[in-house]
Amino acid sequence: SKDSGRNSFRFFNSSISHNMLEHISLISGMRRGLQEQQFSLHYQPKIDLQSHRICGFEALLRWNHPEQGYISPATFIPLAESSGLIIQLGEWVINEACRQARAWIDEGMPDFSIAINISSIQFKRGNIDTLVFNALTRNQLPPQYLELELTESLLIEDSERLANTLANLRSEGVHFSIDDFGTGYSNLGYLKKFEVEALKIDQSFVRKMDNHSGDAAIVRAIIQMASSLGLKTIAEGVEDASTAALLRGLGCTYAQGYYWARPMPVADAKHFWLTWIKD
């Protein structure tokens, strides 16, 4: 009826504005949070499946909101992207990861790299190559300590500016890997064009490898293709020993997941690392 139509419209309308208010308050909260040091990086170790060494860490952003506690990046990254705040947030991540890498070198930790996630929006809008070079220089950090995780959707874009930025970074020795590989596109030409170093096999395939033969077949195919192109593979979302063993058997290069460790605050990550080295 006319009436219920109006009511449902009103309901729809008010739930939208409720959502918008919440979004606006989160966005201004992020702005304040950046000034008040509410953001931090947590570190998840990456294991070399053949040598069983820790070869590096993925840095994952965390927001410790003063009232709401830890808010997931899955919630705030999209808002940071739509509001443009991802530029400042991403800049903070680059600087913080480089600062931490320098600190670990100075503390005498063995060889490692820190992988950071770069939003496509940040890559397209910001002068990311300059940001990265400045952060490396300021921290006297050799570029091989840093790795950028990019998404397929970014690399299939046919833009000269993007190609130049990637080439600049690559020629200075910064490595890239493709995050969430397998979930996006089938045109793989960009892999050769941009000198990608590694493919990160999406956890949606890895987590079901054990009992879904279809997913195991996809993982096997990705590893074979990567190795024939001279690329490394990183499996993410490894939660048990049998998946780790399967991946090792298939020749996957690196892996990360709750089976070894969750992303940890920096002190815990270092403690985990030192214990790992001792064992």
Which residues contact Ca ion by CB under 5 A?
A: 117, 149, 179-180
Q: Is 72 in the site for ligand C2E (CB under 6 A)?
A: yes
Tokens of 57: 């860490």
Q: Is 126 in the site for ligand C2E (CB under 6 A)?
A: no
CB half-sphere exposure, 87, CA atoms < 13 A = 7
Tokens of 175: 């490595």
Q: Is 115 in the site for ligand C2E (CB under 6 A)?
A: no
Q: Pick from Ca ion, ligand C2E, none: which does 61 bind, CB < 5 to 8 A by kind?
A: ligand C2E
Tokens of 228: 């024939």
The least CB distance from residue 68 to Ca ion, in Å, is 22
Q: Is 184 in the site for ligand C2E (CB under 6 A)?
A: no
The least CB distance from residue 149 to Ca ion, in Å, is 4
Q: Pick from ligand C2E, Ca ion, none: which does 151 bind, CB < 5 to 8 A by kind?
A: none
Q: Is 77 in the site for ligand C2E (CB under 6 A)?
A: yes
The residues that bridge with 198 in the sheet, in sequence order, are 177, 232
Nearer to ligand C2E, 11 or 211 (CB): 211
Angle at 12 between CA 10 and CA 18, to 5 degrees: 100
CA distances from 146 to 115, 122, 195, 264 (A): 6, 17, 16, 18
- Which of 29, 45, 56, 263 binds ligand C2E (CB under 6 A)? It is 263
CB 37 within 8 A of CB 66: no
Q: Is 45 in the site for ligand C2E (CB under 6 A)?
A: no
Q: Is 128 in the site for ligand C2E (CB under 6 A)?
A: no
Nearer to ligand C2E, 96 or 136 (CB): 96
Residue 257: DSSP 8-state: S
- Which of 117, 165, 233, 253 binds ligand C2E (CB under 6 A)? It is 117
Find where tokens 């690399």 sit.
155
User: In whole angstroms, what is the distance from residue 268 CA to residue 279 CA?
Assistant: 17
Q: Binding to ligand C2E (CB under 6 A): which residues in 187-216?
A: 203
SS3 at position 254: strand
Strands (E), the chain: 39-48, 54-65, 69-71, 113-117, 146-151, 175-181, 198-201, 232-236, 254-256
Q: Is 73 in the site for ligand C2E (CB under 6 A)?
A: yes
Site residue total, ligand C2E (CB under 6 A): 24
Provide the binding-site residues for ligand C2E, judged by CB under 6 A. Answer: 44, 60-61, 72-74, 77, 90, 93, 116-119, 179-180, 203, 236-239, 256-258, 263
